[in-house]
């Protein structure tokens, strides 16, 4: 040992413990205040899958297209559906049109279904 000595201040530890107990109270959880930042509250009556955008790409371009989708934060998440190049962007009804616009800007890589 190098001779370092740690001093314990028991009153500080007790005070921190009391504060932690106050934080871990039985108060009910409340919704995030950031939900007011959205124009409309999401409709949770359906699964949301109807907003997904399906498209085909050459599998060798999967990473490239995914990086472009990721560059537009909060648009959606790209997922490969099969090994043949069928992919989808899991997006919301409010971001679906933007996801389609992004994919349409890549006609040499992407063919949108439907």
Please, what are the domains in the chain? Answer: 49-112 (3.30.70)
Query: What pLDDT score was predicted for residue 106?
Result: 95
Instruction: Work out the pLDDT band at 49, boundaries 50, 70, 90.
Output: confident
Q: Is the pLDDT of residue 24 over 90?
A: no
Give the closest residue to 53 by CA, choosing from 16, 17, 12, 100. 100
Counting other chains too, the contacts that 65-72 makes at CB distance below 8 Å and 24 or more residues apart are: 65/103, 65/106, 65/109, 65/110, 68/102, 68/106, 69/99, 69/102, 72/98, 72/102
Show Cβ contacts of residue 104 under 8 Å, excluding neighbours closer than 6 positions. 110, 112
Element (H, E) at 112: strand 110-112
Is the model more confident about 103 or about 49?
Answer: 103
Q: Checking DSSP bridges between strand 76-80 and strand 110-112, what pairing results, if any? A: unpaired
How far apart CA 34 and CA 37 sit, in angstroms, is 5
Is the model more confident about 38 or about 87?
Answer: 87
Query: What pLDDT score was predicted for residue 104?
Result: 96
Q: What share of the chain is helix, strand, coil (3-state, %, to 5)?
A: 40, 15, 45
How remote is the C-alpha of 4 from its chain's centroid?
Answer: 45
């Amino acid at each position: 040992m190098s001779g370092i000595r740690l001093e314990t201040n028991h009153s500080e530890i007790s005070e921190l413990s009391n504060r932690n107990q106050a934080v871990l109270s039985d108060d009910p959880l409340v919704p995030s205040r950031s939900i007011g930042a959205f124009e409309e509250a999401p409709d949770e009556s359906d699964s949301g899958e109807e907003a997904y955008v399906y498209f085909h790409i050459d599998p060798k371009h999967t990473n490239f297209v995914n990086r472009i989708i990721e560059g537009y934060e909060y648009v959606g998440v790209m997922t490969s559906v099969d090994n043949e190049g069928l992919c989808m962007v899991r997006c919301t009804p409010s971001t679906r049109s933007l996801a389609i616009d992004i994919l349409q800007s890549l006609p040499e890589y992407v063919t949108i279904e439907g």
